[in-house]
Structure 1
Amino acid sequence: MTVPQRVAIVTGGSQGIGRQIVKRLAADGYAVVLNYATSKVEAEQTVAEIAAAGGDAVAVQADVADEFAVARLFDTAEQTYGGIDVVVNSAGIVVHAPIVELDLADLDRVHRTNVRGTFVVDQQAARRVRPGGAIINISSTTPKLSLPTYSAYAASKAAVDAITLILARELGERDITVNAVAPGATATALFLDGKDEQAVARMAAMSPMNRLGEPADTADVVAFLASPAGRWINGQVLYVNGGAA
């Protein structure tokens, strides 16, 4: 009997950790719907690379905080591939500033993408993911590190953790797992932007392994949670940070 191809949606899939997740799931045999907000060129390049390697992927633009755009994203996945098995919430933004200086417009912008965006995507996923599927939210180690200038971002990721744990309880009887993966400092453009060598070295030294994470470190854990091997892990926040604390 032929096993049907599993289908994954990955938001924020054109760059950084999200892009690595897209490529890993495609390599594992998933048909992948790569969502992007503005990085159309990078998204199409990623799809082309997957196709060249024999995989199956499409790129779809959507603002994750826009419920109508997200509904169309899920419609596209169902119309193109017949259903949805895995949803990975990787879209996110960060703004750095001390609390006393943080522009409230920036606070709203971070929370619109990271909190509302996660909620909107999870809501559609809860309605559409097939039994035996997985919802995986990308969180962060920052809520437990209390790093200065990270208040808006850390608060948004703490909200992601809460959404994850509650949704896991709500969907358990449908045989859908819901987990969060919380990377530590990872060598992506989002993390490295604006940091000098000394700042990067300080962040790397927070791990006993004395290095930054790589996007593949997170993608490997996501792929495990999406696979049959990860079915008994549910309602968890998994820290992928080399032991940073």
Structure 2
Amino acid sequence: MSDHLLAILLGILEGLTEFLPISSTGHLILAEHLLPGQVPDMFETMIQLGAVLAVVVLYFEKLWGAFVTLPSSAASRQFAAAVILAFFPSMALGALLHDFIKGVLFSPVVVSVTLVVGGVLILLAERFRPAPRVLDVDDISVGLGLKIGLCQCLALIPGMSRSGATIIGAMMLGVDRKPAAEFSFFLSIPTMIGVFAYEGWSNRDALLAQGSQDLILVAIGFIVAFITAIFVIKLFIGIVQRMGFAPFAYYRIVVGLIMLAIFWPA
């Protein structure tokens, strides 16, 4: 398999999984170990911004409306502050632990275990979550946003899932399923911009080298992830409203156990 074809397949996988509580990074790590070909080390994290830009497109009216009314609307300021404050814990911890995460935790065995653990946690959250008190994403306070942001720190472990950690964390804090998913979407924007900028700067020499193959592969994955995610986001909201998160939990557990059987050291 050519590296370009691998970049396309991984871009599709990223777009399909970024907003589902099944861990896009974990799936990319597993796929890279299962499929022939090679992509740059920063590929998995940098193409995530491509999928996240789909949120900007699909929710542009909401985001632009909040931006232009910041000076005049307390609700817009609360929304913006909640998202921005929620972004900082994982960004700070991720920068501090970056080398350990990429060097030690980016392992198919770690991903397989956390897929199973995360699936069990989702089932427990669906069973024992409190009655929702927050029914609209605009009602998420700054303090609640910070607590959801702290939950996002769990996603620094590959396989736990950024969307899964934030959505399930929000539900356990009294947020209904739909606003929990939407807040996770909005939180992904500053989070992935920060990750993209950090990885891009750290790998700038490889990316900016004349005729850089790394830059070409990242660009392919980025664009494919964006196009794929456009179709996934609204479908995901519909599934969540009808069926909850249990189907994703069972999927995680099954895939995690299969991958453990494949990658567990002999």
Q: Given the two structures, how large is their TM-score scaled by the length of structure 1?
A: 0.32
Larger RCO, structure (CA 8 Å, separation 6 or more):
2
Structure with bigger strand share is 1
Q: Given the two structures, how large is their TM-score scaled by the length of structure 2?
A: 0.30
Structure with bigger helix share is 2
